[in-house]
Chain A
Amino acid sequence: MKHVLENIESQFEMFQVLNEKGEIVNKDAMPDLSDEQLKELMTRMVYTRVLDQRSIALNRQGRLGFYAPTAGQEASQLGSHYALDKEDYILPGYRDVPQLIWHGLPLYQAFLFSRGHFHGNQMPEGVNALSPQIIIGAQYVQAAGVALGLKKRGKKNVAITYTGDGGTSQGDFYEGMNFAAAYKANAIFIVQNNGFAISVPRDKQTAAKTLAQKAVAAGIEGIQVDGMDVLAVYAATKHARERAINGEGPTLIETLTYRYGPHTMAGDDPTRYRTSDLDSEWEKKDPLVRFRTFLENKNLWSEEEENKVIEKAKAEIKDAIKQADKYPKQKVTDLISNMFETLPTNLEEQMEEYKEKESK
């Protein structure tokens, strides 16, 4: 009897391009990005960090509802998204609002989603995406279907889906990868491994040494990436995308990252399950810090430029909140009309009943 686990696990080494000091450690893997594109990546990360800070503040003031903080995960979220084409299809989890925004979801709609208004879930024409999935894992199986559809239609596009380390325990996680693999569908599966599923640490989630190795059973490529290194995440996703559209099958990408904030803004207290030592260990790996150093060394970035992005973000957030405030309140009659193409009789009756209630 041959034991193979150790051999397999040892194959999964973390892929990195930029180290914590902002130095290129893997020249061959350096993605082919213009100076403008490099700056755009930084712009998006800075903007998204501001958006996170403002969203947390707005939530505390009672001006936003459900919100899952994103700070720390910018490289994982935006590096993977930047590798996509506008026509690619995103199936996000609840923490993946930034990818939707950079895919074209207007900010005020992201705020409406947070407030629990259905208009936040209405993707504008041309934004190929689902609204953030609440049921952990559901998006993974659906991604297999979207990817197979893209393949059948002969599209050179991918379906990309996101979950967390906790999400890899769901049956849907395996089923999604397995189905996509069986059909060699155009799918990319991202796992943002931020070390915790609410309070449960990654090592309680699975005996597997890496989450990337879970690709092996599905018969697809898996890679573990430094999720605080935006260049590595970008390069890995770009590569996975090329393979997918060339008919070489799906890829599982595990990004090693961390969420600085609480799980959501609904009462989670991370001090119950994380130490401040662990927090500071990860803050040293910060994706913005290292990429800023890298860009500054190339004379591509300055404090002044960063401040401009920050001010722009703040102004746009302010406008978007105003726009969200002005948007007509959601009514029960709206929800009734959103249930079926044509209303069955029970809902027709209830429509009248609630019209009357709402007119009071």
Chain B
Amino acid sequence: MAQKTMIQAITDALRIELKNDENVLVFGEDVGKNGGVFRATEGLQDEFGEDRVFDTPLAESGIGGLATGLALQGYRPVPEIQFFGFVYEVMDSINGQMARMRYRSGNTKNAPITIPSPFGGGVHTPELHADSLEGLIAQQPGIKVVIPSTPYDAKGLLLASIRDNDPVVFLEHMKLYRSFRGEVPDEDYTIELGKADVKREGKDVTIISYGAMVHAALKAADELAKDNIEAEVIDLRTVSPIDYETIIKSVEKTNHAIVVQEAQRQAGVAANVVAEIQERAILHLEAPVLRVTAPDTVYPFSEAEEIWLPDHKDIIEKVNEVMNF
């Protein structure tokens, strides 16, 4: 098996599906000749031609509308939003149109669209590039939200997303693009959407997370192990819908849980997870389920992002709090 970065795994998945399904179209700002600002589409226009992989004019609402229309013509569009902070520009297309296509048409039309988009903090971008906005989409019924944390997951989840017959927002954390390599098979494989993954087994406490925070959780778990606390780390992988079965199974074993997200505390995915745990497993809990999140400000100007972003120390602190409750 080859060792690949997440960005290479993503390019791999796009290449496989462009080859596999002639209805797949990859487009967006700078995805053609330039191969994407992060090189996610590197070489794809050369390989598949401008008919399949192309640049669009600079307009996210246009990109979203184009994707919706192409889907109605039987294509399987993969429209990139260059940075997810620009999603506000295409919000109606995503939440107002694609997500409601099946419902509105009485289940006679669907929108098999996958929207890949970089997001996430710690890489010193200007404003509105790094924000964790998955909650905006996760609140919308009719659309799935996928956030991989490893190169292996990224490839399998992206292939599953493109093949899914419903719309998917596929969020790629910028900090994970090139920060490490992982095993990625060259062949075609998929990872079922809506299934969480236990990234580390443990019996004492469950840490539920997704995206870059999974790595902070794993780091925290390593340190906690030195104090004889065995943490189980669950990577949600899909934040809408959420795999509660895996979470509850773990909580029933550990009787302690915390939820970690890079996004702000207010509303959001973590709040949802906490609510479901207490509804489904309150009698198994020995302590309240706590959250580690960013504070309720907009994503900070880059000079302050290190302190703003949650890290493994915050996680250790919260785990100790629930363990010593």
Contacts and interface: CB of A to CB of B under 8 A. Distances in A.
A335 B300 contact: yes
Contact of A204 (B35, B57, B127, B302): B57
B42 to A, nearest CB: 10
Contacts of B296: 339, 346-347, 350
Interface of A: 65-66, 94, 115-118, 121, 134-137, 166-167, 169-171, 197-200, 204-206, 266-268, 272-273, 329-332, 334-336, 338-339, 346-347, 350, 353-354, 357-358
A135 B86 contact: yes
B266 A198 contact: no
27 contacts: A65-B302, A66-B302, A115-B303, A116-B303, A116-B305, A117-B301, A117-B303, A134-B126, A135-B86, A135-B89, A166-B57, A171-B59, A197-B58, A198-B30, A199-B34, A200-B58, A204-B57, A268-B37, A273-B33, A273-B34, A332-B308, A334-B304, A336-B295, A336-B297, A346-B265, A346-B266, A357-B307
A117 B307 CA distance: 14
Interface string B12-30: 0000000000000000011
Interface in B285-325: 295-298, 300-305, 307-308
Contact of B303 (A134, A171, A268, A329): A329
Contact of B304 (A121, A134, A199, A330): A330
- For the complex of A and B, the 4 pairs showing the least CB-CB separation, nearest first, are A116-B302, A199-B34, A169-B57, A166-B58
Interface string B96-132: 0000000000000000000000000000111111000
A354 B294 CA distance: 11
B88 to A, nearest CB: 8
A159 B65 CA distance: 31
B261 to A, nearest CB: 15
Q: Which of B58, B59, B61, B88 has the most CB of A within 10 A?
A: B58
A335 B58 contact: no
A347 B29 contact: no
Among B32, B33, B297, max chain A CB count under 10 A is at B297
Contact of B33 (A199, A205, A329, A357): A199
B128 A198 contact: no
Given A116-B126, A135-B128, A204-B55, A332 B295 contact: yes
Contacts of A358: 307
Contacts of B86: 135
Contacts of A350: 265, 295-296
Nearest to B88: A135
Contacts of B305: 116
A332 B304 contact: yes
B135 interface: no
B295 A330 contact: no
- Of A66, A206, A358, the most chain B CB neighbours within 10 A belong to A66
Nearest to B297: A335
Contact of B307 (A121, A136, A204, A332): A332
Contacts of B124: 65-66, 116
Nearest to A272: B34
Contacts of B302: 65-66, 115-116
Nearest to B36: A199
Nearest to A199: B34
B194 interface: no
Given A65-B124, A66-B126, A205 B58 contact: yes
Contacts of B29: 197-198, 200
Contacts of A134: 85, 126-129
Given A332-B300, A346-B296, A354 B307 contact: yes
B185 interface: no
Contacts of B33: 199, 272-273
B235 to A, nearest CB: 26
B62 interface: yes
Contacts of B58: 136, 166-167, 169-170, 197, 200, 205
A177 to B, nearest CB: 15
Contact of B297 (A137, A166, A200, A339): A339
A250 B318 CA distance: 57
Contacts of A116: 124, 126, 301-305
A330 B29 CA distance: 33
A136 B128 CA distance: 11
Nearest to A132: B126
Nearest to A117: B303
A332 B297 contact: yes
B226 to A, nearest CB: 21
Nearest to B266: A346
A170 B125 contact: no
A169 B266 contact: no
Nearest to B34: A199
Contacts of B297: 332, 335-336, 338-339, 347
